[in-house]
Amino acid sequence: MADTMYNRLVAAIREFEDGLDAEEEIGAQLAQFGQTVTVAVEDVSYHNPHLIKLHGVTPDGHRCTLLQHMSQVNILLVALKVKDQREPRRIGFRLADRGDNESEK
């Protein structure tokens, strides 16, 4: 089920965020059709039985959502430097606090 993959992603995100500098936040590099895009990750959700959703913003400021079958999840987590004056996002603890409730964001 997708919630199992979601829980694994949350654990990986929390572990990755533990190693970030104070000016960094989590991002993801996604490859599709021979191109790569880096996304500042804002949220992760799922829809059982098989769908994982990665929500974020592109470097150009466009909001985006990646819809991925859980058997094909392949995400490279990257550290992104925050360019404006805001605090870096830390999403791992917020995601973990959701518990096992199905997210349909």
pLDDT of residue 12: 93
pLDDT of residue 32: 73
pLDDT tens digits, 78-98: 999 988 778 888 887 677 676
Q: How far is residue 77's CA from residue 91's CA, in Å, rounded to a whole number?
A: 13
pLDDT tens digits, 12-68: 999 999 999 999 999 999 877 788 889 999 999 999 999 999 999 998 999 999 999
Per-residue pLDDT for 102 more than 70? no
Cβ partners under 8 Å of residue 57, min gap 6: 39, 40, 42, 63, 64
Domain boundaries, the chain: 2-95
